[in-house]
Structure 1
């Protein structure tokens, strides 16, 4: 009977076309961007769940979809170029974590550039987090009745509170494998703390943000590599994001002005380099301070 009830509840989350419907769970993330920081920052993140997978990411860009669409349509109508990067609030985190159902195998990815073309690289892993469930520890968090579980992961000790009311074995970031959705999870040092703040159903769901659909080259396709290759490629990119594009930037090109703007291509490149450098230097306190080798990849 309990298994039947769970199946009924799970089915209720995905009424209609599974390819076009998603349930979005909003997690407020409180974190310390710097190891030595005494203050914390907050950002809203989302876990989008469809019938056969989930994707976790920063909500900042997604939240600006409708505003950016209006600005782009205005540019198209006027024929005047506008540097949208000045009006876009940049995310605190650029990574994505996708999980496949029911295996819960995950893929961690980052978007970088090859020349001027955005590419998404990532690695997969099917390693399971080993949880210890404390049947005696329960508490209400918001509207949810939750139960306590603990685990060691990524060099930190984590305490999670999950609810059987939502029979989805998922949660923010790479966290999964509990008999219910994670409502709250934080490490012992309170460097990272997620708490579920709400959820909504999205009809005609599209995983790709609007800004990516209109970007040069379109939305990047995910390329899976080994974890070792991913880490080397990503670390090299962070040190010099324009390394692959610089040989293409000839002096005569750098002096040209952007269409409909007084800003030259060279000035725009410098602005982008500064922005990316600040982005990658803003957080020296990663979620995982130790990582285990991935079991799969190419």
Structure 2
């Protein structure tokens, strides 16, 4: 009898946890960031949100990580990559072009939780997987009532915030009473559907629909170490500008080069966090 009651209790706990992590909407965003080649990187991102929590991610990255989280799935993924990316040359040698395969466009995931009063950001910083948390109070807004815009048919009000080295303008919809938005943006009395910051960083919602999709926890959490945000960003910039020498010092014997649009080799520009990082405060005094 006790075992039966325990089983019933555990099932109820599991069902309750699933209900708590169930999203109410999913939003698609186009993101735009400047890169070190003087061009704009664009990406497709998604936000699952309820009134109390949110998860921001890329769908392809989520699919890859879900596969790689089990031995069977990892083997399946490696077979997919092999078929898509491997080429056997006439001389019998083998080459891989990872651009042909379903590889992760980004390593970034952001989980925001009102009950815990914090957000957690998972990413790859240089060579290492890391995560950090920060209190939601780090982002404060000033609402500009007389500045509005229409996004996806919703009338949005503008707000401004200085956050981690950039000045943000965001447009939120009070018709959607969820205090979340793209990336780490949060804290307004409505869903953020558009945001832009100095330096060419922006997010624009391109689609929104109701859903009951579960906001699954981070896959392979054990592969991530807790980091200090600013130190991690410094390390990532150092790695970006010294990747070849770092890898060769590890005995990997690689040559990294860049090409222009015509395929000609060019000198790789330096990554500068003040220009290319969405959070440049790690370089500011």
TM-score (norm 1): 0.61
Distance, in Å, in 2 between the alignment partners of 1:149 and 1:113 is 33
Map of 2:31 onto structure 1: 29
Map of 1:287 onto structure 2: 278
Q: Which of 167-176 and 192-201 deviates more?
A: 192-201
Distance, in Å, in 1 between the alignment partners of 2:174 and 2:181 is 13
What SS does the corresponding residue of 1:290 show, helix, strand or coil? Answer: helix
In structure 2, relative to structure 1, the CA distance for the partners of 1:109 and 1:241 (3 Å cut) is farther
Deviation at 1:24, TM superposition (A): 2.6
Deviation at 1:146, TM superposition (A): 0.8
Distance, in Å, in 1 between the alignment partners of 2:77 and 2:102 is 19
Deviation at 1:92, TM superposition (A): 5.0
Map of 2:229 onto structure 1: 227
Distance, in Å, in 2 between the alignment partners of 1:90 and 1:73 is 10
Match of 1:183 among 186, 193, 197: 193
Map of 2:139 onto structure 1: 129
In structure 2, relative to structure 1, the CA distance for the partners of 1:75 and 1:204 (3 Å cut) is same
Map of 1:47 onto structure 2: 47
In structure 2, relative to structure 1, the CA distance for the partners of 1:104 and 1:292 (3 Å cut) is farther
2:201 pairs with 1:192? yes
Distance, in Å, in 2 between the alignment partners of 1:53 and 1:245 is 43
What SS does the corresponding residue of 2:187 show, helix, strand or coil? Answer: coil
Deviation at 1:51, TM superposition (A): 6.8
Deviation at 1:44, TM superposition (A): 0.9
Deviation at 1:141, TM superposition (A): 1.6
Note if contact 1:45-1:57 (Cα within 8 Å) is conserved in structure 2: yes
Distance, in Å, in 2 between the alignment partners of 1:186 and 1:165 is 21
Aligned pair count reads 243
Deviation at 1:43, TM superposition (A): 1.2
Where does the alignment leave 5 or more consecutive residues of structure 1 unmatched? 1-13, 250-265, 294-298
Distance, in Å, in 2 between the alignment partners of 1:137 and 1:92 is 34
Deviation at 1:160, TM superposition (A): 0.9
**Which structure 2 residues correspond to residues 46-85 of structure 1 after superposition, within 5 A?**
46-49=46-49, 53-62=53-62, 72=76, 75=79, 85=98
TM-score (norm 2): 0.63
In structure 2, relative to structure 1, the CA distance for the partners of 1:135 and 1:102 (3 Å cut) is farther
Where does the alignment leave 5 or more consecutive residues of structure 2 unmatched? 1-15, 87-95, 259-267
Note if contact 1:97-1:106 (Cα within 8 Å) is conserved in structure 2: yes
Deviations 1:123-151 (A, max 9, x none): 22214322111222223222211111112
Give 1 or 2: higher helix fraction.
2
What SS does the corresponding residue of 2:44 show, helix, strand or coil? Answer: strand
Match of 2:152 among 123, 142, 157: 142
Distance, in Å, in 2 between the alignment partners of 1:87 and 1:148 is 40
Map of 1:120 onto structure 2: 129
Deviation at 1:168, TM superposition (A): 0.8
Distance, in Å, in 1 between the alignment partners of 2:48 and 2:132 is 20
2:184 pairs with 1:171? no
